[in-house]
A and B are shown apart, each in its own frame.
Chain A
Amino acid sequence: MKTPTRVLIVDDDAMHIELLTQYLAGQVDEVRGLTDSREVETVFREYQPDLVLLDLHMPDPDGLEVLRRLRGARLSLGFLPVIMLTADAGHVARNSALILGADDFLTKPFDREEVILRVRNLLHTRQLYVDAKEGRTER
Chain B
Amino acid sequence: MARSPSPTFAPPLSHPALPGRVSRPALQVTGFGLRGWRVFTVAATSAALIGVAFVAWTALRIGGDQVTIAVDDIGEAVAAFAAAVSCGLAAYRNSGRTRLAWAFFATSAISWGVGEVVWSVYEVGMGVSVPFPSAADAGFLLAIPLGVAGVFAFTSAPGRLTTRGEALLAGAIVAISLVFVAWSLGLRAVYDSSSASPAAQLIGLAYPVGDIITITVLVLALRRARKHERGRMLLLLGGLAANAFADSAFAYLTANGTYDAIGSLLDAGWVIGYLLIALAPIWPATDHEATAAEGPIELWQLALPWVAVLAAAVTAILLASTDQALDQFSTVLAGSIGILLVGSQVLSHRDSRSFLVKSQRMENQLARRTSLLDEIITHAPLGIARVGPNMKIIDVNPRMAALMRLGANDVIDTPVARYLNPDEFARVAELFRPLWKGEVDTIESDSNMIRPDNSAVWLHWSATTVRNAAGRVEYFLAMYEDTDAEHAANEAALAHLAGIERLNELKSEFITLVSHEFRTGLVGIQGFSEMIRDSDLPVDEVKSYAGEINKDAERLNRMINDMLDLDRIESGRLTLRIEPVNVNLALHGAVERAHASSERHQFATDFDSTEPIVHCDADRLTQIISNLLTNAVKYSPDGGVIEVTSRVKEGFVEVSVRDHGVGIAPEFVKRLFSRYERYEKTSGKVIGTGLGLAIARQIVEMQGGRIWVDTTVGAGSDFHFTLPMQTAKASAV
Contacts and interface: CB of A to CB of B under 8 A. Distances in A.
Contact of B527 (A59, A92, A112): A112
B682 A62 contact: yes
Contact of A92 (B517, B551, B681): B681
Nearest to B683: A62
Interface string A86-106: 011110110000000000000
Contacts of A13: 520, 523, 685
Contact of A87 (B520, B530, B551): B520
B637 A15 contact: no
Nearest to A112: B530
Nearest to A63: B682
A93 B495 CA distance: 31
B531 A87 contact: no
A59 B663 CA distance: 11
A27 interface: no
Contacts of A62: 682-685
15 contacts: A15-B548, A15-B551, A18-B548, A19-B531, A22-B531, A23-B527, A59-B685, A60-B662, A62-B682, A88-B516, A89-B512, A93-B681, A107-B519, A110-B523, A112-B530
Among the interface residues A16, A90, A109, which one has the most CB atoms of the partner chain B within 10 A? A109
A38 B530 CA distance: 32
Contacts of A15: 523-524, 548, 551-552
B523 A58 contact: no
B527 A110 contact: yes
Contacts, number: 76
Contact of B686 (A16, A57, A89): A57
A45 interface: no
Given A19-B531, A110-B523, 10 more contacts: A16-B523, A19-B528, A57-B684, A59-B662, A59-B684, A59-B685, A60-B662, A62-B682, A89-B515, A112-B530
A87 B684 contact: no
Contacts of A93: 681
B635 interface: yes
B526 interface: yes
B634 interface: yes
A22 B515 CA distance: 25
5 closest A-B pairs by CB: A59-B684, A87-B519, A109-B526, A109-B522, A19-B527
Interface string B669-712: 00000000000011111100000000000000000000000000
Nearest to B634: A59
Given A59-B662, A64-B682, A108 B519 contact: yes
A134 to B, nearest CB: 36
Interface in B624-641: 634-635, 637
A19 B685 contact: no
Which of B519, B523, B531, B635 neighbours the largest number of chain A CB atoms within 10 Å of its CB? Answer: B523
Nearest to A12: B685
Interface residues on A, range: 20 to 34
A36 interface: yes
Interface string A40-77: 00000000000000000111101011000000000000
Given A22-B531, A59-B662, A89-B515, A109 B685 contact: no
A59 B635 contact: yes
B525 interface: yes
A36 B526 contact: no
Contacts of A87: 515-517, 519-520, 523
Say what secondary structure dominates the interface of chain A: loop
Nearest to B661: A59
Contact of A109 (B527, B683, B686): B527
Contact of A110 (B517, B526, B685, B686): B526
A118 B507 CA distance: 34
Interface string A1-34: 0000000000011011011001100000000000
Interface of B: 512, 515-517, 519-520, 522-528, 530-531, 534, 548, 551-552, 634-635, 637, 662, 681-686
B527 to A, nearest CB: 4
Contacts of B524: 15-16, 19
Contacts of B637: 12, 36, 59
Contact of B684 (A18, A19, A60): A60
Contacts of A109: 519, 522-523, 525-527
A36 B661 CA distance: 13
A64 B683 CA distance: 10
Contacts of A60: 662, 684
A97 to B, nearest CB: 11
B39 to A, nearest CB: 93
B637 to A, nearest CB: 6
A58 B512 contact: no
Nearest to B662: A60
Nearest to A62: B682
Contacts of A64: 682
B631 to A, nearest CB: 11
Nearest to B541: A22
Contacts of B551: 15
Nearest to A38: B637
A93 B683 CA distance: 12
Given A18-B548, A90-B512, A108 B520 contact: yes
Interface in A82-139: 87-90, 92-93, 107-110, 112
Contacts of A92: 681
B185 to A, nearest CB: 123
Contacts of A12: 637, 685
Nearest to A22: B531
B636 to A, nearest CB: 10
B556 to A, nearest CB: 12
Nearest to B680: A62
A58 B662 CA distance: 12
Nearest to B714: A60
Contacts of B512: 88-90
A92 B680 CA distance: 12
B554 to A, nearest CB: 12
Nearest to A107: B519
Nearest to B520: A87
A77 B525 CA distance: 37
Nearest to A57: B685
B518 to A, nearest CB: 8
A60 B684 CA distance: 6
Nearest to A36: B637
A92 B534 CA distance: 36
A25 to B, nearest CB: 10
Nearest to A59: B684
Contacts of B517: 87
B610 to A, nearest CB: 38
B509 to A, nearest CB: 10
A2 B525 CA distance: 36
Contacts of A89: 512, 515
Contacts of B681: 90, 92-93
Contacts of B634: 59
Contacts of B662: 59-60
B683 to A, nearest CB: 7
Nearest to B551: A15
Contacts of B527: 19, 22-23, 109-110, 112
Contacts of A59: 634-635, 637, 662, 684-685
Contacts of B548: 15, 18-19
B666 to A, nearest CB: 15
Contacts of A36: 637
Contacts of B528: 19
B566 to A, nearest CB: 21
